[in-house]
Amino acid sequence: MNSAPPRAKALFARVAWRNLWRRRLRTWMSACGIGFAIFLVTVGMSWQAGTYDAWIDSATGLMSGHAQVQHPAYFDNPEVRHNLAEGSDLTNRLAGVPGVVAVAPRAEAFALVSAEERSFGAMVIGVDPVRDAALSDLSSHLAAGEYLPRLDSAFVGTALATNLGIELGDEIVVLGAAAEGGVGALVSRVDGLFETGQPEVDRSVLQVGLAAMQAGFELGDAVHRVVIKTRDARGVTGMRATLEAAMPAGGRLLDWNELLPELEQAIQIDRATAAMTYWLLLIVVAMSVVNAFIMTVFERTREFGMLLAIGMRPNSIIAMLTIEALCVWAMGTAIGIALCLAVVMPLSSVGFDISGIEGMDAMVGQLMMPERLYPALNVEVLVESPGWMLLGTLLAALIPAFRVRRMPVVEALREEE
């Protein structure tokens, strides 16, 4: 018997396409449902992407940078002796890595800070003011005075200054354990005060000049961190290999996910919460498409019976229904993406003022969110929900279509239309 295997045929597509317009309203309802779901999810996802970018920017921008090189033991055990000996060499090498925007070395110690009668424990950070200002915006939170104008200047958090009872121009003494086991000490003049709004930073951090810190704590050229800012925080994981190649003396490279685990966690939690909403939405829409297809298949039982009777294979009928589903999906995706672009494109350049939204002001302070949020469009955002919707639509079409496989031809033929 000469058997023609089922393959995609031009007339099948024509039948599929024209059938869509036989039930105009239903087709538009399905397409708009898919489009609306894709619109909501893509807008939601680009809002999220914008939010995370803002979180990452503000969290990494304060102090930690996108990545750091440290002594292998320093992260878990931050002792002064766990340092990187050739600080300036490492700094220069890292600065030469393509994609690196700024590099700043820091030497630091937990120390006792004293002024006249009072003393408080604080983290003393020696920085190169020019290099540090290029990747950390601590200097922009200036509350009074200047940011490290002299070699022996100190830049002190406002809360710490209040606790110590000091003002601009006062002298402070810093005492701590030096690298070689002796006593590290330095005297600085308070030339600037900062206020970040983050209590623990304002209460327990002061910055001094890197050279003064290295001299006072017997560090020589050694540093504790070399902080790196790259062109794109999200791309830093992909740069690990090139960065590590610029660290011949060894050391541990940590990216912001590791440096700020709570930030990564906040992002993951937010992502998971949103994903649940998206899934619900997509499933509800997919179910309505399933419903529409079940109706279609039931209404056309007689027609399918006739097609089976004249020798069409069930798989060919399923292929025809699949083309119908794909057309509905394509229409829905076009609608959804078009709406999304129309809404998000202007917002992604103009930004959206979130300071007025209730509840957001707390976030703005806590996570140091900017007052304007810029929703971010990217390939992932634009592809993910149409992709899932495609899967949903195909399932929606296939579930009822498989009825065709088990359809008794004779009964289908006897069915009244």
Least separation in angstroms between CB 18 and other proteins: 4
**97 or 312, CB closer to other proteins?**
312
Find the shortest distance in angstroms from Cβ 331 to other proteins: 18
Q: Does residue 1 touch other proteins according to CB under 8 A?
A: yes
- Exactly one of 14, 150, 231, 271 binds other proteins (CB under 8 A); which one? 14
Nearer to other proteins, 13 or 390 (CB): 13
| Distances 46 to 52, 109, 357 between C-alpha atoms, Å | 10, 41, 18
Site membership for other proteins, residue 327 (CB under 8 A): no
- Does 24 help bind other proteins (rule: CB under 8 A)? no
Cα 412 to the center of its chain, rounded Å: 54
Residue 133 or 413: the one with the smaller Cβ distance to other proteins is 413
Which lies closer to other proteins via its Cβ, residue 8 or residue 342? 8
Please state, in angstroms and as integers, the Cα–Cα distance from residue 203 to each residue in 108, 122, 137, following that order.
16, 8, 17
Cα–Cα distance for residue pair 353/197, rounded to 1 Å: 20
Applying CB under 8 A, which part among 36-44, 108-116, 275-283, 303-311 lies near other proteins? 303-311
Residue 25 binds other proteins, judged by CB under 8 A? no
Q: Which is nearer to other proteins, 222 or 308 (CB)?
A: 308
By CB under 8 A, residue 136 contacts other proteins:
no
In 265-384, beta strands by DSSP E: 352-353, 372-373
Task: Return the residue of 306, 341, 343, 398 that touches other proteins, per CB under 8 A.
Answer: 306
Secondary structure (DSSP) of 321-344:
HHHHHHHHHHHHHHHHHHHHHHHH
CB 285 within 8 A of CB 38: no
Say whether residue 323 binds other proteins (CB under 8 A): no
Give the residue with the Cβ less far from other proteins, 26 or 313.
313
213-239 burial code (b ≥16 CB/10 A, e <16)? bbbbbbbebbbbbbbbbbeebeebeeb
160's tokens: 């710490």
Other CB atoms within 10 A of residue 294 CB = 15
Query: What are the residues binding other proteins (CB under 8 A)?
Result: 1-4, 7, 9-12, 14-15, 18-19, 22, 302-303, 306-313, 316, 409-410, 413, 417
